[in-house]
Amino acid sequence: ERGETVRITFVNDTAFPHGIHLHGHHFYELAADDSLGDLRDTTLVAAGESRDVLCVFDNPGRWLIHCHMLSHAIGGMRTWVEVT
């Protein structure tokens, strides 16, 4: 829903780093102690690691979230977030 704050955990279970990009919104990277890190629209998730982000979904619409490596996005590393 519009205005909802959501914590998202990106899990990278591959051998490659992935730059994950969210259209239409910005998010805060979360540190290991849950403190707010940098405000971004793209975060790098290292191979074999995970990254938590915190996003306020305040922009209604259907927004793409995907790996920034085009071949990865075409291969299926993409989905939609719908904010109503």
Domain boundaries, the chain: 4-83
Q: What is the DSSP letter of 16?
A: S
**Structure confidence at residue 43 (pLDDT):** 98
Convert the pLDDT of each residue in 42-67 to its tens digit.
999 999 999 999 999 999 999 999 99
**Structure confidence at residue 53 (pLDDT):** 98
Superfamily of domain 4-83: Cupredoxins -  blue copper proteins (2.60.40.420)
Max Cα separation, the chain?
35
Q: Is 10 exposed, middle or buried (0-12, 13-18, 19+ CB in 10 A)?
A: middle
In the chain, the percentage of residues whose pLDDT exceeds 70 is 100
**Structure confidence at residue 52 (pLDDT):** 98
